[in-house]
Amino acid sequence: MSAPTKVRRRVGRARDLESLAAELGRDHEEVAVRNGKRSGVPVVVGIHSTILGPALGGARMWAYEATEDALADVLRLSAAMTLKAAAAGLSLGGGKGVICAPPGSPPSGDARRDMLLDFGDLVEELGGRYVTAEDVGTQAADMSIIRERTTHVTGLPVEAGGSGDPSPFTAIGVEAAMRACAKARYGSADLSDARIAVVGLGHVGSRLAANLKKAGAEVIASDVVTARHATAEALGAAWTEPDEAMLAECDVLAPCAMGGAINAATAPALRCEIVCGCANNQLADDSLADDLAERGVLYAPDFIVNAGGLIHVYRELRDFSEDKAVELVLGIEGAMQRVLDAARSAGTTPLGAARQLARERLEGSAGATP
């Protein structure tokens, strides 16, 4: 992606986003921007690639401080979805949607419904090149509202005939990836007695923490939402503040909140041996993968680690069983092992190896569709 402009503009009407999209989205197939006719808020869809199939990516509802931030999310996350789908062997491309919510509390009632319907109109306008699903700020029930305006939506509630909440499957995949990383670092995939810091106790993080406790791990938990302290207590996890959790002395650090948590300031201060979490775009800059490797920290590429949710909603599109979905999600352990083996053989970082494997599939030289 091109370097973002240094001028940070507050989110305005769609024409402001259109100019930025043209400036920053040159490596994307399409970046569609509309001003919601009901809600008046900008809605955006970025289609990075449809080489392997329709671009699938969640609909993120967020109150962005600046226009640049909204576009950066769409562009960065849609590109990551291309890599994720390719590396997972799915017949999907990469996309992302954003609903630019106003400042303040999350939208509710008619205001929320209008935003979702406006977003559904944009998805429908794209004619199936983009398929949406839930993401940060949205949930399965919201997909039912979007479904009123378009059929190009997945992750619907179970009672509506959909696959439901994908977060338990994302958590299963993260744990599977951790096992591969533990085997590479310690010679055993056993996570019992491992000390693991889970930073972010949202839908995925809380389930991951619960799974790790069941596996016998010592779990440190944290979240910027202080009310989730009670969640940590219920799980039997030790609570610590978010800034402290990122720098906790542990075997595995699992960033499970928003992206960019590992940056130029935090990377040198990490006191873990493995970074393996569900957050997208955990590295503020890809060059940090080299810095971590030089310090002996194994960084598991997030688009390999967190593919479980994508695999789960994919089953709704391909109509295969939940048992098959679980089998594919557990296969993330093997996928991560292949990435680590390839990195070792090529003398590169796991991130570099994972990107190469994804590129090979995009070029048609590797990978099979389940």
Active site residues: 96
Sheet hosting strand 30-35, strand order edge to edge: 30-35, 42-49, 93-100, 55-62, 130-134
Report the alpha-carbon distance of residue 303 to residue 280 in Å, rounded.
7
**CA triple 306-312-318, angle to 5 deg:** 135
> Which structure tokens are listed for 311?
């695999």
Cα 317 to Cα 105, 161, 200, 313, 332, distances in angstroms: 33, 12, 29, 7, 20
> Which structure tokens are listed for 52?
């392997």
| Residue 112 CB neighbours (<10 A) | 19
> Does an H or E element contain 101, and which?
none
What is the number of H-type helices and E-type strands within the chain?
A: 14, 11
Block residue for tokens 């590479």? 184
99 in Cβ contact with 41 (< 8 Å): yes
| Residue 134 CB neighbours (<10 A) | 26
> Does an H or E element contain 41, and which?
none
The dihedral built from the CA positions of residue 72, 163, 227 and 106, taken in this order, carries a sign that is positive
> Which structure tokens are listed for 356?
């190469």
